[in-house]
Amino acid sequence: MTERFIKNEQFNYICKQVAFIKDSTKQHIPPGVLATVYDVSNEKIMNCVPDMSAEQKGILDFSRLKTVEEYDLAIKKLDAYRMPFPTVTEQQLKKLFPKSKKLKLPDLSSVDLKCVTYLSWNDSRSNKKYLLYELDMQLVGIECSFSPSPRKNTCSICKCQSEVTYFTTKTKERHQNNPDYFRSIGNLICADSHECNKNITGVAYLETLLRDSLRK
């Protein structure tokens, strides 16, 4: 059987393209235009996962599908190929956040890790948010401070309108001539990381944020 190869954000992107196709079938548009919608969306689906094998390309080749029911079935079949977020141990957590002595992982027993692009949770006692992500095949993490009052705006990570809060994180960047120097990065990010993981379709901004935060 083909190994799991579809990340959460890629699956969300595929679902978004399929939803666009399904919505287009309800519109009164000429058959030629509808065929173009199918072709463009199918091509986007094929290109959303880089470096696929021939077998993997066959799994994401939706060009043969003709009906809404066929697309729905194809999406259901993709579940077997979705990659879960990597397992995180308490030891890894201590290594990533050595200054947070009492930090504990949240209860993940009810979390479907296939639906997770980044793992995040809040510590309401200290107004801290912790964010974990696999960057360049390595688990990394950042600690953020957040404002406790969410408001409606666009999330920097998932690019969707939602309840967001203002998060700031201190970078690891230092100046040799000024040991007290630090730089802080601020972003509006979904208050609910579960909703953010449901909506995210790309990781370019998330990875830029992490690289900037972790750069020494």
CA distance 53 to 164: 38
Q: Of the candidates 70, 59, 73, 75, which has an alpha carbon nearest to the alpha carbon of residue 17?
A: 75
Residue reference for tokens 């259901």: 76
In the chain the domains, ranked by start, together with CATH numbers, are 8-81 (1.20.1280), 92-214 (no CATH)
**Which value, in Å, is the radius of gyration of the alpha carbons in the chain?**
20
> Helix crossing, 68-77 with 8-25: angle to 10°?
170
Q: pLDDT 10s digit of each residue in the chain, 216 long?
A: 689 999 999 999 999 999 999 999 988 889 999 999 999 999 999 999 999 999 999 999 999 999 999 999 999 999 999 999 999 988 899 899 988 877 878 888 889 999 999 999 988 777 889 999 999 999 999 999 988 889 999 999 999 999 999 999 987 665 555 555 567 889 999 999 999 999 999 999 999 999 998 986
Give, rounded to a whole angstrom, the gap between the first and last alpha carbons of the chain: 42
Residue 102: the pLDDT is 79
Global confidence as pTM:
0.91
Q: How far is CA 72 from CA 17, 18, 30, 184, 208, in A?
A: 12, 8, 23, 44, 34
Q: Of the candidates 9, 1, 6, which has an alpha carbon nearest to the alpha carbon of residue 205?
A: 9
Write down how long the chain is. Answer: 216
Specify the 3-state DSSP secondary structure of 198: helix
CA distance 198 to 194: 6
Residue 120: the pLDDT is 94
With residue 195 as reference, give the H or E element that holds it.
helix 193-199
Residue 125: the pLDDT is 76
